[in-house]
Structure 1
Amino acid sequence: MSLRAKALNGVVWSLSDKLINQLGYLAVTIFIARIIGPESFGLIGMLTIFTLLAESVVNNGFAQALIQRSQYLTEEDSSTIFYVNIFWGIVMYFLLYFCAPFISAFYNAPELVEISRVLFLVILVSSLTVVVRAKLTINIDFKSQAIANTISTLLSACIGIYLAMAGYGYWSLVWLLITKSIFNGIVLWFYCQWLPKFIFSAESFNRLFKFGSNLMLAGFVATFVNNLYVALVGRYFNATQVGYFTQATNLSNYATQFINSTLQGVTYPIMTSIKDDRERLVNVYTQLISITMLVSVPLLIGFAAVSNEFVRLLLGEDWLPVIPVLIALCFARSITPISSINLNILNAIGRSDLFLKVDLSKLPMTVAALFIALPYGIEGLAWAMVCTSFIAFFINSYYPGKLFGFGGIAQLKIAYKYIIAAALMYFAIGLISANDSLLLTLLVKIALGAIIYIAMLFVLRDKFFLNSFGMIYSKIKN
């Protein structure tokens, strides 16, 4: 199969995976949140930063290192990293296990001791699947990953919904997360058909650690920065406010992750395979920027435009304070997928040192913005994230600009027509007043928004959109 065919097949399966599983999982968490309420939801949100930080140590560095080394990967490499990840998982779990009372005291929430010690088991389970997931990604086998995600989503959803309806409150979310991770791991191992050998190579560890350690540290810093807002909301406000902020963060992140994981999950192994061919690499990179902006800008801005109807219809009246926070975070996330691509290409060419340098350079800005915004509540924090996201875009695009001559300004020149079309779409949708049927209003806004956005791109004569539309139309016609 050619590289182009592999990429197309990977995109199709990855997209199917996200449509079925991310949207399905989102629907399940929304349903559970509606039952258990903002306060119980907020208790789990308080622990998010600790879970993600531990998983970033376990997952981020060595998985990317294996993929980056895909052309020269040996059995010694795979087996060594498998055992290293198990070690990291055990260390992270027991570290957090013994820190549970301090986490509880930080938030002044005694119930978090028991919750965290159970929830953090997810870290141990995740450590077992890092290598098999990397191997499937190297082979651009997103079909197996899609099937694994579908099975785990369906089975864990049944458990989570049953527990929520039986009155188990926040425990329904805890067991939803744990069982999803367990079922996913079992199916991934089944499809990968790989077993580690009793090998530990110091040479493999040193080689992969040199690349992976930078990504591990960069991932840790990025995760810390991205989730510090939620942690401090829990520290300075109550669990209900955490619930609102966590839900808004989750909803806006789902849209962003849908784009990131679909496109970048497929293109990262492809970019690593052609990293020595500069012309092809830059071509894939620029095409990826264009298609990401074409999709991400209207999706996030459109979500902001329909957030009122979405929250009222799916979450209920108890969640109304989420709406202004969600609108702000959608604006903040609209540029995030491009920032991720700019960092992704640094990994693809083996410059994890630059990746780390970029993430560290953003830390002071983010922390300063956070503490300035704290007195203004969760809405102030959300708008602080809007400001830092757009500044971070230019920081993230600095090194790609130096290395490939395609920096932040050049990327915005590609995107300005999408931004204009999305802005007109947003204001046009805002003119539609809600009627007695929230569902009908939501559907009308979505349909009108899509029509306005596409029509504006025809009017503005965007070349990338017109070429893509022409290709799709020709294939349908034929």
Structure 2
Amino acid sequence: MNKEPEKKLWYGVFWSFLDKIINQLGTVFITVYIARLIGPESFGMIGMLTVFILLSECVLGGFSQALIQRSHDLTEEDSSTVFYINLAWAFLIYIILYILAPYIAQFYKLPELTSIARILFLVIFINSLMVVFRAQLTINLDFRSQTVAATYGSVLSGILAVYCAHQGYDYWSIVIMLLSKSIIVLLGLFYYSHWIPKLCFSKNSFLSLFKFGSYLMLASMLATVVNNLSTVLVGRFFNATNVGFFTQATNISNYASQVITSTLQSVTYPVMASIKDERERLLLVYQHLVAITMCISLPLLVGLAAVSKEVVILFLGNEWSAVITVLIALCFARAITPISAINMNILNVIGRSDLFFKVDLCKIPISLLAIFIAIPFGISALAWSSIVTSLLAFFINAYYPGKLFGFGVMQQLKVAKNYILSSGIMYAILFAISIENIFISLCIKIVVGIIVYSSFLLIMKDAVFIDYVSKISTFMRGIKHKNEL
């Protein structure tokens, strides 16, 4: 890989990863703390509405990807057109959801959801305003500014939400956190992007960007519906407490998965888009990305499955113990997700959002069948069924990369064999460790897990792992040398 793109890539990875650690991890801890205060039932009521916010973001996010994909030829008309289109979309979506709020509450048999929904859905309108600002910064690989803006949002909204929870605002504390965070982040992105929408609208820009973005929008909407259908059905056929359990397990496992996926994907997408016409370089970056993602994602998610009991009891309390089995299953399922995301991402890079849509369309019947088979057996069965659908999704997602780049299922599994074996051995050893003190058990398992995984990769002389250990060692020696001077 050329040194300049590689330098930009890893600089972006650093800031994007820092963003996830500071902000997403911070948000998870704050949410977990508030959930412990308000209980599973109140927490579950917010979880019931999450799918509607995610669906709206799918509508808005397609144009963002289209702007980044066109980074080389992007015009001021393109950016301004997307800004106004997103604004119009968000206004329309909010009005529709405002009208539907009583029916959503009736579906879940919880009348209080009407007022919660109408306030919470304002997040949709606020988030629509930041799409172009974020895209502008991403095109310039300016993840530092995005991290700073998100940090202000996370810290200030978190403090406000914790205060509200202690004052007895119950589920409203989470609503306040989500709204205030969106407003603060919006202001930060506006300040750092140095971009102001012009009073112009181009029909040609809209049509060309919509052609690419519409496939992503539809694919994302379908995937969001399928991925969150479990939560919707749990809320409909069980109760808010079960939704609270399922949502919390989903949030924790999703965070561990997304801290890898979104970090690498958000940074590598603009980098790969900039070299999409250089086939050999693009393939090298893609293969390297798959290898490093597997090296990190498998031990992280499998390790989280091994310490699920300790994490739930220590941070949420015994009241949330039903989350443990659900979290274990979802961790195994999410271990594969980052690889599937990369395989889908490469299709967008080369401008084949139509294939992206087709692949997502193929996975829907499988996911629906698994959900409807598992739902009568409870939330644990629903979580375990996601392992099967994740495995099948990996094979489906790897089809086009195999056809277009010669890097399909077998080639990717060959790359992953060391990480699969090392993660499996690590899990078996951690599973065998039994210590009564929860905190000591968690600490020991984390240390043992790191040692076991690293040792087996060193024994197998894994090239990717050794290369990055060497780079980290060199970096640390450089810092030590500067301090000595």
TM class, shorter-chain normalised? over 0.9
Instruction: Tell me how far 1:261 sits from its aligned partner.
Output: 1.2
Identify the residue that residue 102 of structure 1 maps to in structure 2: 103
Cα offsets for 1:174-210 (capped at 9, x unmatched) = 1111111111001100111111111000010011001
1:320-469 mapped onto 2 (5 Å cutoff): 320-436=321-437, 438-469=438-469
Identity across the alignment (%): 57
Could you tell me which runs of 5 or more consecutive residues in structure 2 were left unpaired when the two chains were aligned: 479-485
> Which SS does the other structure have where 1:47 is aligned?
helix
Normalised to the residue count of structure 1, the TM-score between the two structures is 0.98
Q: Aligned equivalents of 1:475 and 1:258: distance in 2?
A: 22
Q: Aligned equivalents of 1:361 and 1:328: distance in 2?
A: 23
- Stretch deviating more after TM superposition (465-474 or 72-81): 465-474
Identify the residue that residue 57 of structure 1 maps to in structure 2: 59
Do structure 1's residue 8 and structure 2's residue 10 form an aligned pair?
A: yes
Instruction: Tell me how far 1:108 sits from its aligned partner.
Output: 0.7
Do structure 1's residue 248 and structure 2's residue 249 form an aligned pair?
A: yes
Cα offsets for 1:73-124 (capped at 9, x unmatched) = 0000000000000000001111111011111111111111010000000000
Identify the residue that residue 25 of structure 2 maps to in structure 1: 23
Normalised to the residue count of structure 2, the TM-score between the two structures is 0.97
Q: Aligned equivalents of 1:369 and 1:269: distance in 2?
A: 35
Q: Aligned equivalents of 1:77 and 1:439: distance in 2?
A: 53
Q: What amino acid maps onto 2:211 in structure 1? A: K
Q: Aligned equivalents of 1:396 and 1:105: distance in 2?
A: 37
Q: Aligned equivalents of 1:418 and 1:135: distance in 2?
A: 36
Instruction: Tell me how far 1:2 sits from its aligned partner.
Output: 2.5
Q: Aligned equivalents of 1:27 and 1:87: distance in 2?
A: 34
Query: Of the candidates 31, 34, 43, which is equivalent to residue 32 of structure 1?
Result: 34
Instruction: Tell me how far 1:56 sits from its aligned partner.
Output: 1.0
Instruction: Tell me how far 1:55 sits from its aligned partner.
Output: 1.4
Q: Aligned equivalents of 1:269 and 1:196: distance in 2?
A: 22
Identify the residue that residue 286 of structure 1 maps to in structure 2: 287
Q: Aligned equivalents of 1:107 and 1:303: distance in 2?
A: 32
1:308-319 mapped onto 2 (5 Å cutoff): 308-319=309-320
> Which SS does the other structure have where 1:275 is aligned?
coil
Instruction: Tell me how far 1:467 sits from its aligned partner.
Output: 2.3
> Which SS does the other structure have where 1:198 is aligned?
coil
Q: Aligned equivalents of 1:423 and 1:3: distance in 2?
A: 35
Q: Aligned equivalents of 1:153 and 1:348: distance in 2?
A: 30
Do structure 1's residue 259 and structure 2's residue 242 form an aligned pair?
A: no
CA RMSD of aligned residues (A): 1.0
Q: Aligned equivalents of 2:410 and 2:115: distance in 1?
A: 49
Q: Aligned equivalents of 2:181 and 2:243: distance in 1?
A: 23
Q: Aligned equivalents of 2:243 and 2:191: distance in 1?
A: 38
Q: What amino acid maps onto 1:241 in structure 2? A: N
Q: Aligned equivalents of 2:409 and 2:113: distance in 1?
A: 43
> Which SS does the other structure have where 1:2 is aligned?
helix
Q: Aligned equivalents of 1:387 and 1:202: distance in 2?
A: 44
Q: Aligned equivalents of 1:211 and 1:347: distance in 2?
A: 9
Q: What amino acid maps onto 1:265 in structure 2? A: S
Instruction: Tell me how far 1:312 sits from its aligned partner.
Output: 0.5
Q: Aligned equivalents of 1:467 and 1:100: distance in 2?
A: 53
Q: What amino acid maps onto 2:66 in structure 1? A: A
> Which SS does the other structure have where 2:378 is aligned?
helix
> Which SS does the other structure have where 2:470 is aligned?
helix
Q: Aligned equivalents of 1:434 and 1:176: distance in 2?
A: 37
> Which SS does the other structure have where 2:186 is aligned?
helix
Instruction: Tell me how far 1:17 sits from its aligned partner.
Output: 1.1
Instruction: Tell me how far 1:409 sits from its aligned partner.
Output: 1.6
Instruction: Tell me how far 1:469 sits from its aligned partner.
Output: 2.0
Identify the residue that residue 307 of structure 1 maps to in structure 2: 308
Identify the residue that residue 41 of structure 1 maps to in structure 2: 43
1:105-184 mapped onto 2 (5 Å cutoff): 105-184=106-185
> Which SS does the other structure have where 1:194 is aligned?
coil
Q: Aligned equivalents of 2:165 and 2:413: distance in 1?
A: 45
Instruction: Tell me how far 1:340 sits from its aligned partner.
Output: 0.2
Could you tell me which runs of 5 or more consecutive residues in structure 1 were left unpaired when the two chains were aligned: none
Cα offsets for 1:207-227 (capped at 9, x unmatched) = 100101111111111111111
Identify the residue that residue 236 of structure 1 maps to in structure 2: 237
> Which SS does the other structure have where 2:433 is aligned?
coil
Instruction: Tell me how far 1:474 sits from its aligned partner.
Output: 3.5
> Which SS does the other structure have where 1:140 is aligned?
coil
Q: Aligned equivalents of 1:464 and 1:142: distance in 2?
A: 25
> Which SS does the other structure have where 2:435 is aligned?
coil
Q: Aligned equivalents of 1:339 and 1:142: distance in 2?
A: 23
Q: Aligned equivalents of 1:471 and 1:4: distance in 2?
A: 13
Q: What amino acid maps onto 2:56 in structure 1? A: A
| Deviating 4+ runs (over 6 angstroms) | none
Instruction: Give the number of equivalent residue pairs.
Output: 476
Cα offsets for 1:429-475 (capped at 9, x unmatched) = 11111223x21211110000000000011112212212222333344
